[in-house]
Amino acid sequence: MALAFTFSTVPVIISAPGAIARLGELASARLGKRVMIVSDAGLVRLGIVRRALVSLQMAGMETDVFDAVEADPPEACVLAAVAAARAFNATGIVGLGGGSSLDVAKLCALLARTPQPLSATYGVGKASGPRLPLILAPTTAGTGSEATAVAVATTTGADKMGAVSPLLFADVALLDPELTLGLPGAVTAATGIDAMVHAIEAFTSINPNNSPASRALAREALRLLGGSIRTVFVDGSNIAAREAMLNGSLLAGMAFANASVGAIHALAYPLGGHYHLPHGLTNALVMIDVMRFNAHVCAAEYAELGRIVFNEASQGSDADRATLFIDRLKQLSRDLGIPESLRMAGVTEDALPLLATDAMKQTRLLVNNPRPVSLADALAIYRRAFA
């Protein structure tokens, strides 16, 4: 692990039950007078978008809503949001929703102010500004997108492409656990596992920017997530557990925004692109078999994280404790009702070679994995995850 590192994150983070009521106050100081909310139709129906609109309108903002965000947002969705922001002459953007809404909001804020085409933003450091001011308010405890400089879109060829740039850090991350109270159990489970994957991959990343700061954030994220995920799955109205999950997701996002993620995400992305499975679920489906592949080189790290997540002492070698950690994660996924194989999630066996080929395109992620992954390795992992 390098001793020299750079750590970047969102400049302002506000976390408190009922924090959405402060949106108008925050917007009036940062977003100008014409604010567009980027969200999805489901949150409009649930009344969550209205709560944000009321706060903005009471502060004197003129408002508009783009509510056509889809899961694994296609490029057409991003471009439609950009067109809506330009037509409204927006002076600021609020992203309200899960990771897809927050990613679209980031790209919308960027592209509404620059002639750069979306395709030119993909990769590390390719985006160019300026961008519109941006506030992000998550309604799921999973992606940590409110604290990252990454936004992902799905191309017409079903590839998930990421733009990575400091320009994509929001001006404010607004965390209100009350916004997550209505999450169904399945969504709570998948997004919670997603957040845990972020922390695990950040902790074991070989990225030169994996630092004492990112590792400390990953540890605390896993302490919060591991201590709360079963509670919120069983009792979704537990506000303290919801708050712990949301803050754990944030800290995991801060960790991987700097240390990056690896092969779990690289192999998860093609599943989302081709099968339109939720991102948290795709991570969960390949997590166990990627970790078993990686355990040959990072057993000590997995052994340490196992003690944190499951809050128990265990005996034996690092390899033994790493195996126990992975086995307990598999049992956790089972207890949360997550499908136990790609087959159970509707993936067909004949698609595995294509998935492996597409996973190898995720070079910006695979370079961070603690163990090199070849095409043959990727296919073997998918085959184990399918069985």
The pLDDT of residue 2: 47
pLDDT recorded at residue 281: 96
Taking the CA of residue 117 as centre, how many other CA atoms within 13 Å lie in the half-sphere pointing to its CB?
A: 4
Residue 95: C-alpha distances to residues 99, 103, 270, 275 (Å): 9, 8, 25, 25
Alpha carbon distance 370, 298 (integer Å): 7
Question: Stretch 359-365: mean pLDDT, rounded?
Answer: 95
Distances (CA, A) of 366 to 218, 257, 261, 265, 370: 19, 15, 8, 9, 9
Per-residue confidence (pLDDT) for residue 387, from 0 to 100: 92
Cα separation of 93 and 108, whole Å? 8
What pLDDT shows up at residue 319? 96
The mean pLDDT value for 8-25 works out to 97
Distance of alpha carbon 378 from alpha carbon 201, whole angstroms: 17
278 burial via Cβ count (<10 Å: 0-12, 13-18, 19+): buried
Model confidence pLDDT, tens digit, residues 157-208: 888 899 999 999 999 999 999 999 989 999 999 999 999 999 999 999 999 9
Q: At 101, which amino acid appears? A: S
pLDDT tens, residue by residue, 298-339 = 999 999 999 999 987 778 899 999 999 999 999 999 999 999
Q: Can you tell me the distance from the alpha carbon of 340 to that of 137, in angstroms, rounded to the nearest whole number?
A: 31
Q: The tokens 């000590």 sit on which residue?
A: 300
Strand-strand pairing, 62-66 and 34-38: parallel
Distance CA 32, CA 316 (A): 59
pLDDT band at 216 (very low <50, low <70, confident <90, very high): very high
Report strand pairing: 92-97 vs 123-124. Answer: unpaired
Q: What is the mean pLDDT of residues 80-92?
A: 98
Find tokens 């990575």 and name the residue: 164
Cβ proximity of 164 and 124 under 8 Å: yes
Does 280 have pLDDT greater than 90?
yes
Per-residue confidence (pLDDT) for residue 101, from 0 to 100: 98
Q: Backbone phi, then psi, for 33, in 5-degree steps?
A: -95, -10
Q: What is the pLDDT of residue 1?
A: 47
Does the pLDDT value for residue 153 go beyond 70?
yes
Predicted structure pTM score: 0.95
How far is residue 167's CA from residue 222's CA, in Å, rounded to a whole number?
A: 28
Q: Contact at 8 Å (CB) between 256 and 198?
A: yes
pLDDT the model gives residue 312: 74
Q: How far is CA 221 from CA 206, 258, 318, in A?
A: 19, 15, 22
Which residues make Cβ contacts (< 8 Å) with residue 321, sequence separation at least 6? Answer: 299, 302, 303, 306, 307, 314
> Are 165 and 147 spatial neighbours (Cβ–Cβ below 8 Å)?
no
pLDDT in tens, 111-135: 999 999 999 999 999 999 899 999 9
Q: Is the peptide bond before 212 cis (omega within 30 degrees of 0)?
A: no
Tell me if residue 186 falls in helix, strand or coil: helix
**Distance set, CA 12 to CA 107, 214, 369 (Å):** 20, 18, 30
Q: Show the domains of the chain with their CATH numbers.
A: 12-179 (3.40.50.1970), 183-386 (1.20.1090.10)
Distance CA 331, CA 337 (A): 10
Q: Average pLDDT in the 86-98 region?
A: 98
Angstrom distance (rounded) from CA 88 to CA 243: 34
CB-based contacts of 287: which residues, under 8 Å, 6+ apart? 193, 197, 200, 264, 329, 333
